[in-house]
Amino acid sequence: MGPLPRTLELFYDVLSPYSWLGFEVLCRYQNIWNIKLQLRPSLIAGIMKDSGNKPPALLPRKAQYLSQDIKLLRQHFQIPIQFPKDFFSVILEKGSLSAMRFLTALSLEHPEMLEKVSRELWMRVWSRDEDITEPQSILAAAEKAGMTIEQAQGILEKISTPKVRNQLKETTEAACRYGAFGLPITVAHVDGQTHMLFGSDRMELLAYLLGEKWMGPVPPAMNARL
């Protein structure tokens, strides 16, 4: 048996577009690099509050830039990401609390579904401009990801329990202790050291730290480990 896989913790929120980009790149590489990807649903609103930071989109020129940047990265990363029409309402008013609690409950009960359901929630809010705050919206994403109605409703019933609320709080606090002031953050445990990398644009640096090969944001699938 070869060397042990290196653990990567990805702290993310489906409200965050760059979280989606980072998520997909790491999902693509999890079967290429010798890594173990652990998904950590977190609340970006909590991280902003704790760090004293503000969403970049509140600065007009940054909002303008984000919009262009996402358009270009859509092509480069081959992810169907698109700004919702009423971006400010989605980000600042509607938020993602229920969705991230749902994913937290999933991480406790059905962690094997976490990747697919996270993706479906991003597809709703950051591709098809659909709601992710209503219970039926979250259930629709879960079903699209392959959960049965019963499974999905079972998870939904748990989202307001103290256990799930506390877990989301703890995961968010863990991100803060790693130094997060936004999301996504990738925490890489390599050779007894811990590196926190912010953003979806530190993946080539991550490859360097892991001693792995960087093949761009869309690596050829044929390199997958057996």
CB of 83 to a second copy, least distance (A): 16
Return contacts of 68-72, CB within 8 angstroms, 24+ apart.
70/17
Please tell me whether residue 88 binds a second copy under the rule CB under 8 A.
no
Cα dihedral 102, 107, 108, 111 sign:
positive
Using the rule CB under 8 A, which residue among 73, 100, 132, 147 binds a second copy? Answer: 73
Backbone angles phi, psi at 216, to 5 degrees: 80, 175
Q: Which of 208, 185, 221, 203 is nearest to 26 (CA)?
A: 203
Q: Which stretch binds a second copy (CB under 8 A): 14-22, 137-145, 156-164, 209-217?
A: 209-217
What residues contact 62, with CB distance under 8 A and at least 6 apart?
Answer: 56
Q: In whole angstroms, give the CA distance from residue 164 to residue 104.
A: 6
Question: Please, which residue, 213 or 225, has the CB nearer to a second copy?
Answer: 213
CB of 68 to a second copy, least distance (A): 7
Please tell me whether residue 69 binds a second copy under the rule CB under 8 A.
yes
Question: Please, which residue, 111 or 179, has the CB nearer to a second copy?
Answer: 179
Please tell me whether residue 179 binds a second copy under the rule CB under 8 A.
yes
CB atoms within 10 A of CB 111: 11
Residues engaged in binding a second copy (CB under 8 A): 51-53, 59-62, 64-65, 68-69, 72-73, 75-76, 179-181, 195-196, 198-199, 201-202, 204-205, 208-209, 214, 216
